[in-house]
Amino acid sequence: MSQKFVLASRNSHKVEELDRILKLAGIDAQLLTVADFPDAPEVPETESTFEGNALLKARALAKHTGLTAIADDSGLCVNALNGMPGVLSARWSGSDNDADRANMDLVLRQIHDVPDVRRGAQFVCAAAVVRADGEEFTVRGTVDGVLVREPRGTHGFGYDPIFVPNGFDVTTAEMTADQKDAISHRGQAMRQLAELI
């Protein structure tokens, strides 16, 4: 009998990614999203950590649906920007129109004069599971890399076109879904969650 989970996201990329990872882990799951619960509360990401924001969303959704809820918060932490945009990654530019591109362009402008040897960054993902009985846990995945000067690739989303993971010469937007899942921060966190689930 398949387990039923609800993912605190409307992001179709995240849903597809989690679905692939759960299947690879041998978990027979029915994955619902907040879109399946039109009256689900919108939860502002007001915490200062990725783990805090993931727990906020998972707690609210578990309470609302009575199901085991999975939520994540992730972002790009740029060394030359003292770890920013961090938890503000999705809203870094303040733009609602084509926010991914606006956020990426702003980061590139902010580090324009930073030499290549100091363009280190990390993708970070904290994922949380909250069960209907109140049990909860978090996990974290990170991948280190460098930021290139111009976007490359059409796969992925967010900051993928400017991030080259250590040990690779392609951006995460130039990788196949399987290649990215194998090394990505979200892939790492979701595989840990799959083991715990």
Burial zone of 188 (CB within 10 Å; 0-12 exposed, 13-18 middle, 19+ buried): buried
| CA distances (Å), origin 55, targets 59, 61, 83, 127, 158 | 6, 10, 21, 8, 22
Residue 178: per-residue pLDDT = 81
The DSSP result for 71-122, as a single string, is EEEEEEEEGGGTTEEGGGGGGTT--STTHHHHHHHHHHHHTTTS-GGG-EEE
Residue pLDDT tens, the chain, 197 long: 568 889 998 777 778 878 877 787 777 778 888 889 989 988 989 999 999 999 999 999 999 999 999 999 999 999 999 999 999 998 999 877 678 899 999 999 999 999 999 999 999 999 999 998 889 999 999 999 999 999 999 987 899 999 999 999 999 999 998 888 788 888 888 888 888 77
Query: Considering Cα of 175, then 50, then 67, then 133, what sign does the dihedral take?
Result: positive
Domain ranges of the chain: 3-196
CB-CB contact of 146 with 116 (8 Å): yes
Biggest CA–CA distance in the chain, Å, is: 56
Nearest Cα residue to 6 out of 132, 124, 125: 132
CB-CB contact of 89 with 27 (8 Å): no
What's the CA gap between 69 and 144, in Å, rounded?
A: 28
Helix, strand, coil share of the chain (percent; to 5): 40, 25, 35
Q: Active-site residue numbers?
A: 73
**Domain 3-196 carries which CATH code?**
3.90.950.10
What's the CA gap between 33 and 93, in Å, rounded?
A: 27
Polymer length in residues for the chain: 197
